[in-house]
Chains A and B, each alone.
Chain A
C-alpha cells in the first residue's frame, strides 16, 4: 500500500505541477481546496471557552486525475488544531485518502479509499461529510461487475477510516441487484418497474477482553465474525413507487448496545406518488439494535459500517433545526408523511405565479422493551407496544411569488422533542415556530433576503438544574438580512435572542466574496452550543464566540 501511495503521490503531484489543469498524458487534473478557520474566546453567557491556540484550522485539498476509464485521486487534510466540535483525534496532517480506479462498461475496480453503499445503507454505507467531521471510507478493494445489462454485483473488502487510523475490524461485503425490466422484455415495456437486491456484509475483528457484567472474572465470548444481510425491492407502477428493505444483523455485542448478544433488525418502507404539481409520500421505519461498527469498542459517530436513514425532515431554518433528531441506532420506530401541492397560476390560491404548499409530519417512538440483563446476555425483549415518544413534528410551508421580484415563504411548525435522544435528562420540549422569508430581487445587480423567526417553547433555562441547563430552552426571536451585490459580494447580519425563559444573544455578521470558483467568507459572532445533524447523524457543536473564515476554490 505504501508503494501504491508513493506512485500515486508522484503521479498526481507531478501532474498538478507540470501539466496545469489538463494535458498530463492526455488526462485531466481537477481538484478543490477548502480552508476553514476559527478564533474564539470565553463568554460565560453562552458557555464558550478561550482557545489556547488562538486560531483553529481545518484544511483539505482534493486532487483528481482522470484519463478515459482510469482515474486516481488523493486528499490531503490538515487539522491544526481541529475546529471546535471536531474530535481532537483529528489533530495532525497528512495524506488521508488516495485511490486508483478503473471504470469500464462491465467492470469497475477501485483500489485505495472508496465510498460504497448497499441499498439504503442499512448494512453498508461509507461516506464522507466534512461538516460532520465524518469519514468512514474503506481502504481496500472495491469491485463492481455488470455481467449483463440489468445485473450489478458489488464486492468490497478493507478497513474503515477513523481519524488518522484504520479500524481493527476487516469489512467484507457482497451485494447483488437485478433490474427485471432490463432482463424481461415484456416487463421493460410495461408500466411496471421492478428492481430486486440482496447484500451481505461481514466484519472480522480479533478478540478482546470485555468483562462480563455478571462476573468480572469472566469475559465475553465475542463473535469474531459479525454478519449483516438485507433484502430489498424497488417497485414502481406509473406514478407510484414503493421501496422496501429488511435487514438482519447477527450477534454483535458492542459498546453502543452495551455488549448484548441480541440480533439486530431493521425495516424501511417508502411509498410515493407523484404527478405534475402534486406529490405525496409516506415512510415507515423500525430498527432494533442495528448499530454496526467496524470496531466493537468504539463509541461516537466514527466507524459505523452501516447507515440508518433519517425519518424526520432535515430542516434548514435556524429554529426549525435547533432541536434536530438524532437516529437512535439501538431502537426506534416511526412514520413520516410528506405532501407537496402547487396551486396553479390563475387560480384563487395560485394567483399570478402559482403557490407551493408543503406539508410534512413525522413521529418517532422508542421500542417498548423489557430488560433481561446487561453485558453478556441477550439484553432485552421487545414488546408489541410503543416506547417513549422521542420526537414529533408537523410543518406547513407556503411559498408564493408575489411579483417578478418578490417571493415570500411562510412556515409554521410544531415540534415535540425528548432530550433523551441526546442522552440528556429532562422532560419533553414543546415548540411552536413561525418563519417568514422574503426574497427581493431589487434590480439586476442587487438582491435582498429577509428572514424573521419566532419560537415559543414550554422549556426554560436554569444553569443550576441539570434538567434545564440546555441553552436552547426558552422563547426566541431571530432576524436576518442578506444582501447580494452582483455575482461577487454578499453581506449578511443576523441575531437570535432568547427573550423569555432562556439565555443568550447570538449575533452574527458575515461578508463573502466570490470570484469564479473561489469563495472567501469571513464572519464574526456567536454560535450557540447544540447539535449539528445531517441525515440523523450528528456532532456536538460547542459554543463559540469570535471570528470564522472559510476559503474554497476548485480548479
Chain B
C-alpha cells in the first residue's frame, strides 16, 4: 500500500512539474507576428495601383451570397479581396461545419465595430464602407483604381516542405509623412461548407473564396524601418509554416502597405503560394 501511495504522489508530482509553463516577468510580452527582415533595394517596381476590398461575411448571413456575386463580378488582378468571417451572430458556424473565424480577423472586426454583415471596406477607408447592398461599390473601386500609387508593391513566395518564404518588394513613388506598415495575410479559396442563401434555403456545398485563414505578421503590420521618401525601395522578407489544414494550391498571400495610424491601405498585392 505504501508503495502505491508513494507512486501516486510521485506521479502527481511529475505531472505537476511538467504540466504548466512558468514565464518570467521580463518575458511576459514578445514582439508580435512573423519577423520581417528588411533589405534596401535600388531597383524599381512597376507602379500599379491596386484596390483592397475587405469583406465581412458569415455562413448564417443570407445576404452575403449576393455580396459575393457582386464582388466576384469585379474581381481581377487589380482588386485584392479578403473575406473575414464575422466572429458572432450570423458569422457563427453551423454545427459540424468548419470554423473560419480567425484571431486576426476578429481583431479587425472589433476595430471597425462591425455590427451587421455583409460589410465591405475599400482600402480600409471608413468613408468607403458598404453594408448590405453592394451595388455602389463598383464605382468606388473604379474610382480608387484611378489614384496615383504612393507605393508600388510586388509580392513573391516560395514553398518548400511547408515553409513559405515571402518577399514583398516596395518602391515609394512619393514622399509619405507618416509611419507605414507591412501586413501579410493568408487567404484560401474553394472552401466548401454550408451557407444560408437569400431565399432562406441552405446551400450545403457553397464554395467560399478569399477567406482569411491567418494574419502572418502582426494584425496591423510590421512598421517599415524608414521614414518614407520618394525613391526609397526595400524588400521585406519573412517565413512561416503553412498549417496542414490549408490546401496550398488554393491559398494566396496578400500584402498590405498601410498607414500605421489611420490603418488606411496605401497599396496592396497578392500572389499564389509558391509563386
Q: Which A residues lie at the B interface, using CB under 8 A?
A: 88-89, 91-94, 147-148, 151, 153, 164-165, 172, 174, 176, 178, 183, 198-200, 202, 208-209, 211-212, 214-221, 223-227, 229, 250-251, 261, 297, 376-378
Measured CA separation A376–B31 after assembly (Å):
12
Contact indicator B220/A218 (Cβ below 8 Å) = no
Contact indicator A221/B96 (Cβ below 8 Å) = no
- Scoring B residues 62 to 76 as 1 if CB is less than 8 Å from chain A, else 0, what string do you get? 000000000000000
8 Å CB interface, B1-30 against A: 1, 4-5, 8-9, 11-12, 15-16, 19-23, 25, 27-30
CB contacts (< 8 Å) of B23 on chain A: these are 221, 223, 251, 261
Contact indicator B89/A209 (Cβ below 8 Å) = no
Contact indicator A217/B28 (Cβ below 8 Å) = no
CB contacts (< 8 Å) of A225 on chain B: these are 19-21
Q: Would you give the shortest CB distance from B245 to chain A, in whole angstroms?
A: 12
B56 CB–A CB distance under 8 Å: no
Task: Say yes or no: A216-B22 contact (C-beta < 8 A), given A89-B92, A148-B4, A200-B12.
Answer: no
Pick from A151, A164, A217: contact of B223, CB under 8 Å: A217
Contact indicator B12/A174 (Cβ below 8 Å) = yes
Q: Would you give the shortest CB distance from B16 to chain A, in whole angstroms?
A: 5
**Max chain B C-beta neighbours (<10 A), residue from A147, A164, A200:** A200
Measured CA separation A297–B219 after assembly (Å):
17
Sample 27 A-B pairs with CB under 8 A, ordered by A number.
A89-B92, A94-B95, A148-B4, A153-B8, A172-B19, A174-B11, A183-B1, A198-B9, A200-B16, A208-B103, A209-B215, A212-B29, A214-B29, A217-B31, A218-B29, A220-B30, A221-B23, A223-B23, A226-B21, A227-B16, A227-B20, A250-B20, A251-B20, A251-B21, A376-B28, A377-B25, A377-B28
B44 CB–A CB distance under 8 Å: no
Measured CA separation A164–B60 after assembly (Å):
15
CB contacts (< 8 Å) of B1 on chain A: these are 148, 151, 183
Measured CA separation A151–B22 after assembly (Å):
32
Measured CA separation A153–B5 after assembly (Å):
11
Given contacts A217-B31, A251-B22, 19 further A-B contacts (CB under 8 A): A147-B4, A151-B8, A153-B8, A165-B93, A174-B11, A174-B12, A174-B15, A200-B12, A208-B103, A217-B32, A218-B29, A219-B30, A219-B31, A220-B29, A223-B20, A224-B21, A225-B19, A250-B21, A297-B103
Measured CA separation A479–B36 after assembly (Å):
70
B149 CB–A CB distance under 8 Å: no
Pick from B20, B22, B29, B94: contact of A376, CB under 8 Å: B29
CB contacts (< 8 Å) of B178 on chain A: these are none
**Tally of contact residues, B, Cβ under 8 A:** 38
Contact indicator B20/A198 (Cβ below 8 Å) = no
B233 CB–A CB distance under 8 Å: no
**Max chain A C-beta neighbours (<10 A), residue from B12, B29, B33:** B29
B99 CB–A CB distance under 8 Å: yes
Contact indicator A223/B25 (Cβ below 8 Å) = no
B209 CB–A CB distance under 8 Å: no
Measured CA separation A216–B181 after assembly (Å):
13
8 Å CB interface, B24-82 against A: 25, 27-33
Measured CA separation A531–B103 after assembly (Å):
31
B118 CB–A CB distance under 8 Å: no
Measured CA separation A224–B5 after assembly (Å):
30
B218 CB–A CB distance under 8 Å: yes
**Max chain A C-beta neighbours (<10 A), residue from B11, B21, B23, B28:** B28
Q: Would you give the shortest CB distance from A540 to chain B, in whole angstroms?
A: 16
CB contacts (< 8 Å) of B5 on chain A: these are 151, 178
Contact indicator A209/B33 (Cβ below 8 Å) = yes
Contact indicator B95/A218 (Cβ below 8 Å) = no
Measured CA separation A500–B118 after assembly (Å):
47
Task: Say yes or no: A92-B94 contact (C-beta < 8 A), given A148-B1, A176-B12, A202-B19.
Answer: yes
Contact indicator B32/A209 (Cβ below 8 Å) = yes
Measured CA separation A253–B107 after assembly (Å):
18
Pick from A216, A220, A226: contact of B220, CB under 8 Å: A216
CB contacts (< 8 Å) of A220 on chain B: these are 28-30
Task: Say yes or no: A223-B96 contact (C-beta < 8 A), given A198-B12, A208-B103.
Answer: no
Contact indicator B95/A92 (Cβ below 8 Å) = yes
Measured CA separation A223–B218 after assembly (Å):
19
CB contacts (< 8 Å) of A219 on chain B: these are 29-33, 218
**Max chain A C-beta neighbours (<10 A), residue from B8, B19, B30, B88:** B19
Contact indicator A164/B28 (Cβ below 8 Å) = no
Q: Would you give the shortest CB distance from A144 to chain B, in whole angstroms?
A: 14
Q: Would you give the shortest CB distance from A159 to chain B, in whole angstroms?
A: 13
Pick from A151, A214, A218: contact of B31, CB under 8 Å: A218
CB contacts (< 8 Å) of A251 on chain B: these are 20-23
CB contacts (< 8 Å) of B16 on chain A: these are 200, 227, 229
Measured CA separation A93–B19 after assembly (Å):
36
CB contacts (< 8 Å) of A153 on chain B: these are 8
